[in-house]
Amino acid sequence: KVPMMAGRGLGHTGGTIDKLEAIGMRTNYTCDEFRELVASVGAAIVSPSQSMVPADRKMYALRDVTGTVTSLPLQTSSIMSKKLAENPHSLVLDVKFGEAAFQDSAADG
């Protein structure tokens, strides 16, 4: 089973949720709908909601207006708040770096 809460774009990047919604995919689900999707389909990608990760939207907005989008500790807390809310049995993190990422190189992370 693969539950995933993905984020919106910050700074110069387009987030996973923005990209999925651009092609017409629904990403806003309640906690119960999210659980049902994962149980029935085996995977789901949803946007964080107030009921699942209440502080994440506020942290996103704060990072955006304070110029701390690239702050590694704030990135990590945002990612982990969503991952922990998913209550996974295991966890894989894909860490991006390069021109379209927040970190220019692997050494920056």
pLDDT in tens, 22-47: 999 999 999 899 999 999 999 999 98
* Structure token digits, residue 88: 């996974």
Q: Which of 23, 37, 16 is nearest to 82 (CA)?
A: 16
Confidence of residue 108 (pLDDT cuts 50, 70, 90): low
Give which of 4, 10, 17 is closest to 85, Cα–Cα. 4
Tens digits of per-residue pLDDT, 2-14?
888 887 776 566 7
Mean pLDDT (the chain, rounded)? 82
Question: For residue 109, what pLDDT is reported?
Answer: 56
User: Cα separations (Å) of 100 from 29, 33, 75, 83, 84?
Assistant: 28, 32, 15, 23, 26
3-state SS assignment for residue 95: coil
What is the predicted pLDDT for the residue at 59?
81
pTM of the model: 0.68
